Amino acid sequence: MTEDLLKTIKLNGAIPAHIAIIMDGNGRWAQARSLPRPFGHQAGMKAVREVVEGGLAAGVEVLTLFAFSQENWQRPPDEIDALMALLEEYIAKELDELRSQGVAVRMLGDLDRLSPGARAAVDRIMKETAAGTNLDLNICISYSSRAELTRAARKLAEAVAQGRLDPADIDEQLLARELYTAPWPDPDLLIRTSGEMRISNFLLWQLAYSEIWVTPVLWPDFTRQDLFRAILDFQRRDRRFGRVLA
């Protein structure tokens, strides 16, 4: 079934170059099994590998995953400590495989808030996978889209104050260049797991014209087959970007 889906989407062409994913449902997955929430986050690591390998197989160029928001810092300290430890564990387990597959990993967000161990692990994986050319994997950690936009506006304001920029020259392109995602095109497709119908302060600027695909599947149960279904649905859509096509 999975291989059939992959063959179908490759025959259809129009593979989304950039896919963004809101990885939601870890807590509910654990709750349904009477397990502590960190067990759900642990189970979600397998789904990350599934979408990375599925993205590579399908020919996706960029994957941007929403892993931990700035709002998540308000969660109980024990859960935050578990998440930081899990980030270190993920990097220790996956770094060699990601590097061998040509995956370049970038962590996007306010990384200064990470624990010392997590920050060291993040710096290591970004440095050691930087040469990857097969897939750009962006993992949003301590990320808030409103904070990202505020940061971009502040940087433009500083340039104006220093006389390096005329306010009249500020346009969409200049602002976009100050975002964390400046090196990549905007996502073609946004996937959200767990069935929730919201974007949760994720890539507010970048998702302006993205196609959205929501599945009730909880993140730990998400597989490359689900990824391929989302791509197939994307290929069936008529993307007009506000235009009326003759």
72 has catalytic annotation: yes
233 has catalytic annotation: no
pTM recorded for the entire structure: 0.94
Instruction: For each of the domains in the chain, give its residue range(s) and CATH number, in order of start.
Output: 2-144+187-233 (3.40.1180.10)
pLDDT tens digits along 71-103: 999 999 988 998 999 999 999 999 999 999 999
Residues 206, 186: contact at Cβ < 8 Å?
yes
Comparing 74-88, 108-122, 125-139, the range with the smallest average pLDDT is 74-88
Instruction: Give residue 241's pLDDT.
Output: 64
C-alpha span between 105 and 95 (Å, rounded): 9
Considering 4, 24, 166, 201, which one is annotated as catalytic? 24
C-alpha span between 20 and 66 (Å, rounded): 8
Considering 4, 12, 26, 72, which one is annotated as catalytic? 72
Residues 137, 65: contact at Cβ < 8 Å?
yes
